[in-house]
Amino acid sequence: MSLSVRAGRVSDLDALVRSTLGNALDSEGLHLDATVVRRGVKAILDDPAKGRLFVAEAEGQVIGSTYVTFEWSDWHDAWYWWIQSAYVVPAKRGTGVWTALYRAIQAAARKEGNVRSIRLYVESNNESGLRAYRGHGMKEAPYKVFEQVL
């Protein structure tokens, strides 16, 4: 399999929507509204300040994707990059797709020069996600996430 990772583009919209819907279902058992997801993905494609999309492609097909959003740290005068909606199509899992995506994110963060860390949140019962992230050197942070839906 010839695998490449590149920036997401508008022509990837349908594949990115499928990936986001697949991520929500696989990781949290959620069935998201595809219309809302489409608007959300398009918003990132249209406005790079919202995030950076990373797409893994093989034989002209999108087989994995994720994106990064940004959080400024006044404590460190640097950025935290948050990985969002990581997804690899089921038939390609375990073939190095996530590794390629994660390495591309690391390389892009290093190139920026002012990224302190790469972070993500994962459902505590998402065993495959936990294995993948731990297997790539990520460590569990000592934080708990709080939320108030508005």
Summarised one tens digit per residue, pLDDT across range 86-109 is 999 999 999 999 999 999 999 999
CA distances from 3 to 64, 110, 137 (A): 10, 22, 22
* pLDDT of 124 strictly over 90: no
> How sure is the predictor about 129, in pLDDT bands with cuts at 50, 70 and 90?
confident
pLDDT value, residue 77: 97
Q: Work out the average pLDDT over 100-128.
A: 93
- Angle (nearest 5°) at CA 42 between 132 and 40: 65
Average pLDDT value for residue range 3-30: 95
**Position 18 confidence tier, pLDDT thresholds 50, 70, 90:** very high
Query: DSSP assignment of 101-122, as one string?
Result: HHHHHHHHHHHHS-EEEEE---
pLDDT computed for residue 125 by the predictor: 84
Mean pLDDT over each residue of the chain, to the nearest integer: 94
Beta pairing class for 78-88 and 115-119: parallel
Give the model's pLDDT for residue 122: 87
Confidence of residue 30 (pLDDT cuts 50, 70, 90): very high
State mean pLDDT over 112-137. Answer: 89
